[in-house]
Amino acid sequence: MNAQHPPHRVLQARKRIALIAHDHKKAELIEWAVYNKTALSRHELLATGTTGKLLEDALDVPIKKMLSGPLGGDQQIGARIAEGKVDVMIFFWDPMEAQPHDPDIKALLRLAVVWNIPIACDRATADFLMTSPLMNQEYRAILPDYNMYLHRSI
């Protein structure tokens, strides 16, 4: 790795945004999305199953829908993050209720950090993210260097 040119990937001006919400947070995400409809419509949107259907109905914009989160949708979005096919994740998760697929949720959040993508887990952070000038321009995201990990002695 060259210190002056670290590994990176370019996030285009039109971002690929994953939208996810637990059951008790779906109404809040829908309300937030409707408020941000104009900004969101500039981007490619994908979501877990039920959330995607609700968003598509509320926004009247196409949403690429994965499976429902507990049925593998969280893992599908995680795979897309690892493949470089998700640029931003808005995930309104419920901190007050245990989920049957908690390990999948933790893995999804972990992958977002591993691949250095912006994450918003609440409305205030989502507002900051969506109003950032970086949301509508090309951005060079520095990727962590995992060479030492990949080439460690086992």
For 87-126, write each residue's pLDDT tens digit: 999 999 888 776 766 778 889 999 999 999 999 999 999 9
Specify the CATH number of the domain 8-151: 3.40.50.1380
Per the annotation, the verdict on 104 as an active-site residue is no
Which of 45-49, 64-68, 70-74 has the lowest average pLDDT? 70-74
The mean pLDDT value for 118-142 works out to 96
Q: Is 101 annotated as a binding residue?
A: yes
Which residues in 10-23 are b (16+ Cβ under 10 Å) and which e? ebeeebbbbbbbbe
Report the pLDDT value the prediction gives residue 3, as an integer from 0 to 100. Answer: 59
Q: Is 51 annotated as a binding residue?
A: yes
**Residue 81: which pLDDT band, with cuts at 50, 70 and 90?**
very high
Report the pLDDT value the prediction gives residue 150, as an integer from 0 to 100. Answer: 75
Query: How far is the CA of 129 from the CAs of 18, 110, 135, in angstroms?
Result: 13, 19, 7
Which residue of the set 23, 57, 60, 74 is catalytic? 74
Q: Is 84 annotated as a binding residue?
A: no
Instruction: Enter the pTM of the model.
Output: 0.90
Q: Is 48 annotated as a binding residue?
A: yes
Domains of the chain: which residue ranges? 8-151
